[in-house]
Chain A
Amino acid sequence: MSINLSALDRPNSYIGRTVPRPNAPRLAEGRGTYVDDITLPRMVHVAFYRSPHAHARIGRIDAEAALAVPGVLRVFTGRDIAAVCSPWVAVLAHLKGLKSAPQHAIAVDRATWAGEPVAAVVAESRAAAEDGLAVLEVEFEPLPVVAEMETALDPETPLIHPELGDNLAFRRVHEAGDPDGAMASAAAVVEATFHTGRHTGVCLEPRSILAAYNRAENQLTVHHSTQAPHMIQTVLAKHLDMPEGNVRVICGDVGGSYGIKVHVYPDEMATAAIAKIMGRPVKFVADRIESFSSDIHARDHRIKGRLGVDAEGRIVALEIDDLTGIGPYSVYPRTSAIEGNQVVNLCGGPYDFANYRARTTVVLQNKTPTCQYRAVGHPIACAVTEGLVDLAAEAIGMDPVEFRRRNLVRDDAYPYTSAANMRFEGLSHHQSLAKLVEMMDYDALRAEQARLREAGIYRGIGIASFIELTNPSPFMYGIGGARISAQDGCTVRLDPDGSVVALSGVTEQGQGTEAMLAQVVAEGVGVPVERVRIITGDTQVTPYGGGTWASRGAGIGGEAALQAGLALRANILEVAGAMLQAAPETLDVIDGEVVEKATGRARMPLGELGRIVYFRGDTLPKGLPREMVATRHYITSDYPFAFTNGIQASLVEVDVETGMVRLLKHWCVEDCGRVINPLLVDEQIRGGIVQGLGGALYEHCVYSEDGQLLTANMADYLVPMAAEMPDMVVAHVETPTKESLLGAKGAGEAGTAGAPAAVMNAINDALRPFRARVTAMPFTPERILAALGRIPERRF
């Protein structure tokens, strides 16, 4: 039951149209309201003393000198905070065997990574709080550090949490078919080891929270830069021992999140706890340096992969062995096992094969905790799969495009269940591939590549097919016991002047949620889009929902908004029918007017209907329902997850003398189901691609052997900047999900999922004449020169 666009193709038909974002002009004029822009009376600032050691016992904390600093008000230790804020353990019941240790908002007794909060200084200004930190005395007794994930499980490696028995957080093995038999019979087996490099999100607006506690009402109001206000409300209520209704989380403008701001952070919990203790508003805005060691990291994986193909170039078996280090704790409440689990679920995802063995091993270590970050696990699985696919194509002497044609799941094969047991409702790999090949003029590029090679210019073309998991059902978190809503809701209200207000549980992080919702609601109710006002990000007023993650804003939040809009329209028509002495089914709402459905003749503007309903209700029949507000919730139920798909291509030029890679151009064809706002979708794709390109070429959290982060500033942690990024061509195939009326599946992560693999394959294509290959991200000049044999290899 997907929406029929032609039936809705009328003056206020907005689905599929580029509509400007209502909140963009405000941001372009610098008139947004990010958390740090808010000042409350008697507000104080907290700054955290962070462990300089990767692992250490915390000794005496002497606050005397800090408390003497002008402006400093209080100093809190882990025990002080633990008195009002209970610790948490991030496990999920359905991830069998996942274990972690209780984590406190401020470390008690032991610091387990360099950057973990061990004390808090509260002062009248951030500067004064830092003055206090500078003279706070904390004694440490350094403990042995577990830094290297490869040896984390060795018997001689010390245990981070002795009570857990080992440093293994989680292991999953999945097997389908007969991988050994298939490998044995394969015409060719290729193998490689990939490293994806530890990344972090580097949201330009750092993590920010302003918590205010009203003792008289036992009311906690939290202004928070977050993706999931209701989840945070629930978590704060639980760990500060308050009723959920007494915790209000307000999420105004958010300066980027990408998954970084969907987790529970110890320093943010401590800030709320301090607000409760002090009875004053407390602000914490992470500075950039502490962001690098306290924002979650991600993607620290080593994956060994083997792919077997038959003589016709058909994939017969895939084997992967994934290892990832997640820091000392699984991150609350989503856990840090999901990324490895996703690698198992997603490897080989685009391809039709039956024999699969996958293992992920998730180990603890004394580094910044890792957790879900944009396109969780996807860029890893995609790089491994596509890297092996290109190797296999080369091994049997087949063009990589032809190899994919032979192996991608057929477009008419759906519903299809993958070797990893993922159920796909409908994907369009072949249509996407065909479109990509045409769009990039693949054959001409190959010809140009050959010509330039003669002149000593080494260009490479890399292709990467991908699937993207979106719109999760409770199978992602809820069934494991996490109080994370997979459902979302929307309330749509007609105001007396005929304008519409919609309140949604999904949130705006800059990706255009509010524009998307306005379009959907305008179409659902039948009003001009500029008559719709969207409210998000306030747990006290919006329906309870999951917020923004896993590309669920349009697919889940959008469907709830559409259903609510349609419900309000039905309510309006019922009242209009009574007013106009007509059967409601003969009327419609178009462009803000009640009209005769058959002729389109205008009968009554919504402003007139609103006036009568709200101010002259006496003129309506007694007992007539007059609900000018409707709320609908939506949850997916036919499939545990929706899946989208797509394919990317990268054209690079490698300077084989310097090892430098120039990104010349990038292409992406993706299928996010129904495209609601083409411009916003395209820019999600582009932004996502560049985030992936950053991981491929630049971004890396490099650690010393003793667990010190060596790239803890923006001069050393290299993010993608404008000068090096390519122009990107984006196109779409639309395979709407039949599960919802709207048919949207989500587009937030597709770009990031495929870009690193495409670049890796392009670089290796360029290096092919030298029989050189790189598989460890980021692909730095040093690594490429080492692969070319021009310099010796150096290990990080």
Chain B
Amino acid sequence: MKGASLAYARANDVSHALELWRRAGPDARLLAGGQSLLAGINLRLNEIPGLIDISRIGELRGVADLGDRLRIGALTRHADLQADPLVAAHAPAFAQAAPLIAHAAIRTRGTIGGSLAYADPAAELPACVLALDAEIVLRAEAGERRVAAENFFLGLFETALRPFEMIVAVEVPKIGPNRRHAVLELARRSGDYAMAGLVLAADVAGGRLHDVRLSYFSMGPAPVLARGAMAALDSDEGVEAACAALGTDLDPVADLQGGPEMKRHLAGVLLHRAVAGLLGHSPVSGGNHGRG
């Protein structure tokens, strides 16, 4: 199982990367952490004529405090998200999600930019940026633009990225004093892609949730905001009403782990647990797999 022959170039900086890419053509790929891309190359899933290795571009790495926001460089690795004090303090969902991604030896190389660009519907980080109302900072040779997370994920492995355009950072508003995050998923085994997962962000005050953002992953071709459930929770209609709203919010597709009915059912169970968790009724966040 050896990848097909391909060409490789190492980019020194972002503009160099973009120049290399234009010269190599649109089928060439950026190599960031490579934890999905290289598996696909080994398996010869796609014909990839060339790789532009961006993994050493220093300007794409690291977390910066921009006052009301955090800027998370595209090459920030899952292991960094797990350990970074700024992330833990201001965007805890990322710190909660990171340990759920695969395994230690993958988190040392996998990056947030790579995860968002790949847009696997079962991945945690796309759902995080969605629930946290983040902006994705993109750059092409023509310049930079920003896309709200809500407008970034278009379908199965499909994003708003244009040809020759790359993610350089994610900018996410810092949480306020009452804001809480919960990331919950159900996976068969630790580190597996989830059967169902959610990211819940809300202000907690007066024993209820306000200003709710709720996204799901592994629930369809792309991560999805559960707007009906968000509205139900915002208007304090209760979790049951929110779960009922999931019926229209979510359109899950069957996979090997289960059919749409199971996924819908689990989405509701997770919502109950996440809300209870944010309200302090039970521990919250983490993967629930069959661990003994």
Would you call A662 and B5 a contact (CB within 8 A)? no
A287 interface residue per 8 A CB criterion: yes
Would you call B292 and A663 a contact (CB within 8 A)? yes
Q: Given A660-B186, A702-B256, A721-B190, does the pair A726, B292 have CB atoms closer than 8 Å?
A: yes
Contacting A724 at CB < 8 Å: which of B5, B44, B289?
B289
Write out the residue numbers on chain A whose beta carbons fall within 8 Å of the beta carbon of B5: 127, 131
Contacting A658 at CB < 8 Å: which of B1, B261, B288, B292?
B288
B258 interface residue per 8 A CB criterion: yes
CA distance A16 to B26 in the complex (A): 67
CA distance A723 to B291 in the complex (A): 6
B151 interface residue per 8 A CB criterion: no
Number of interface residues of A (CB under 8 A): 43
B269 interface residue per 8 A CB criterion: yes
B162 interface residue per 8 A CB criterion: no
Closest B residue, CB atoms, query A664: B292
Contacting B259 at CB < 8 Å: which of A663, A723, A726, A782?
A782
Would you call A725 and B1 a contact (CB within 8 A)? no
Contacting A697 at CB < 8 Å: which of B186, B257, B290?
B290
Write out the residue numbers on chain B whose beta carbons fall within 8 Å of the beta carbon of A663: 290, 292
**Least Cβ–Cβ distance between B101 and chain A, in angstroms:** 14
Contacting B289 at CB < 8 Å: which of A289, A659, A723?
A723
Would you call B256 and A724 a contact (CB within 8 A)? no
A790 interface residue per 8 A CB criterion: yes
Those of B241-279 within 8 Å (CB) of chain A: 254, 256-259, 261-262, 265-266, 269
**A-B contacts, CB under 8 A, total:** 96
A781 interface residue per 8 A CB criterion: yes
Would you call A792 and B261 a contact (CB within 8 A)? yes
Write out the residue numbers on chain B whose beta carbons fall within 8 Å of the beta carbon of A126: 2
B189 interface residue per 8 A CB criterion: yes
A65 interface residue per 8 A CB criterion: no
Would you call A716 and B256 a contact (CB within 8 A)? yes
Those of B31-69 within 8 Å (CB) of chain A: 43-44
Would you call A782 and B262 a contact (CB within 8 A)? yes
Interface string of A696-731 (1 = CB under 8 A from B): 011000100000001101011010010111110000
Write out the residue numbers on chain B whose beta carbons fall within 8 Å of the beta carbon of A538: none
B188 interface residue per 8 A CB criterion: yes
A134 interface residue per 8 A CB criterion: yes
Closest B residue, CB atoms, query A722: B190
CA distance A619 to B261 in the complex (A): 89
Write out the residue numbers on chain B whose beta carbons fall within 8 Å of the beta carbon of A725: 292
Would you call A131 and B4 a contact (CB within 8 A)? yes
Interface centre among B3, B4, B262 (most CB of A within 10 A): B262
Those of A482-498 within 8 Å (CB) of chain B: none
Write out the residue numbers on chain A whose beta carbons fall within 8 Å of the beta carbon of B258: 780-782, 791, 794
Interface string of B174-196 (1 = CB under 8 A from A): 00000000000010111111010
Would you call B193 and A698 a contact (CB within 8 A)? no
Q: Given A702-B256, A785-B265, A791-B262, does the pair A287, B1 have CB atoms closer than 8 Å?
A: yes
Closest A residue, CB atoms, query B1: A287
Interface string of A649-678 (1 = CB under 8 A from B): 000000101111111110000000000000
CA distance A660 to B184 in the complex (A): 15
A161 interface residue per 8 A CB criterion: no
Closest B residue, CB atoms, query A795: B259
A130 interface residue per 8 A CB criterion: yes
Write out the residue numbers on chain B whose beta carbons fall within 8 Å of the beta carbon of A661: 290
CA distance A794 to B259 in the complex (A): 7
Would you call A127 and B261 a contact (CB within 8 A)? no
Closest B residue, CB atoms, query A710: B256
CA distance A721 to B289 in the complex (A): 11
Interface string of A724-744 (1 = CB under 8 A from B): 111100000000000000000
Would you call A130 and B1 a contact (CB within 8 A)? yes
Closest B residue, CB atoms, query A778: B188
A239 interface residue per 8 A CB criterion: no
Interface centre among B191, B192, B265, B292 (most CB of A within 10 A): B292
Would you call A134 and B4 a contact (CB within 8 A)? yes
Interface centre among A658, A662, A715, A727 (most CB of B within 10 A): A658
Would you call A724 and B189 a contact (CB within 8 A)? yes
Interface centre among A126, A655, A724 (most CB of B within 10 A): A724
**Least Cβ–Cβ distance between B281 and chain A, in angstroms:** 14
CA distance A288 to B39 in the complex (A): 12
Would you call A288 and B291 a contact (CB within 8 A)? no
Would you call B259 and A660 a contact (CB within 8 A)? no
Q: Given A126-B2, A716-B256, does the pair A721, B288 have CB atoms closer than 8 Å?
A: no
Interface centre among B5, B188, B254 (most CB of A within 10 A): B188
**Least Cβ–Cβ distance between A791 and chain B, in angstroms:** 4
Q: Given A660-B290, A664-B292, A781-B257, does the pair A791, B189 have CB atoms closer than 8 Å?
A: no
Would you call A658 and B289 a contact (CB within 8 A)? no
**Least Cβ–Cβ distance between B243 and chain A, in angstroms:** 12
Closest A residue, CB atoms, query B193: A715
Those of A669-698 within 8 Å (CB) of chain B: 697-698
**Least Cβ–Cβ distance between B268 and chain A, in angstroms:** 9
Interface centre among A287, A726, A781 (most CB of B within 10 A): A781
**Least Cβ–Cβ distance between B104 and chain A, in angstroms:** 12
Would you call A662 and B189 a contact (CB within 8 A)? no
CA distance A290 to B186 in the complex (A): 30
CA distance A780 to B255 in the complex (A): 13
Write out the residue numbers on chain B whose beta carbons fall within 8 Å of the beta carbon of A662: 290-292
Would you call A782 and B257 a contact (CB within 8 A)? yes
Q: Given A662-B292, A710-B256, A723-B291, does the pair A657, B188 have CB atoms closer than 8 Å?
A: no
CA distance A661 to B292 in the complex (A): 9
Interface string of A576-588 (1 = CB under 8 A from B): 0000000000000
Would you call B292 and A711 a contact (CB within 8 A)? no
Would you call A660 and B4 a contact (CB within 8 A)? no
Would you call B288 and A130 a contact (CB within 8 A)? no
**Least Cβ–Cβ distance between A115 and chain B, in angstroms:** 14
Would you call A780 and B257 a contact (CB within 8 A)? yes
Write out the residue numbers on chain B whose beta carbons fall within 8 Å of the beta carbon of A697: 290
Write out the residue numbers on chain A whose beta carbons fall within 8 Å of the beta carbon of B4: 130-131, 134
Would you call A790 and B265 a contact (CB within 8 A)? yes
Closest A residue, CB atoms, query B255: A716
Interface string of A286-317 (1 = CB under 8 A from B): 01111000000000000000000000000000
Interface pairs (16), CB distance under 8 Å: A125-B2, A126-B2, A127-B3, A130-B4, A131-B5, A134-B4, A290-B1, A664-B292, A698-B188, A710-B256, A724-B291, A780-B257, A782-B258, A791-B265, A792-B259, A794-B262
Residues of chain B at the chain A interface (Cβ within 8 Å): 1-5, 43-44, 186, 188-193, 195, 254, 256-259, 261-262, 265-266, 269, 288-292
Given contacts A289-B1, A721-B189, A794-B262, 12 further A-B contacts (CB under 8 A): A134-B44, A661-B290, A662-B290, A663-B292, A715-B193, A718-B189, A718-B192, A721-B190, A781-B262, A791-B259, A794-B254, A794-B258
> 6 shortest A-B CB distances, which residue pairs?
A287-B1, A723-B190, A127-B2, A782-B258, A726-B292, A791-B261
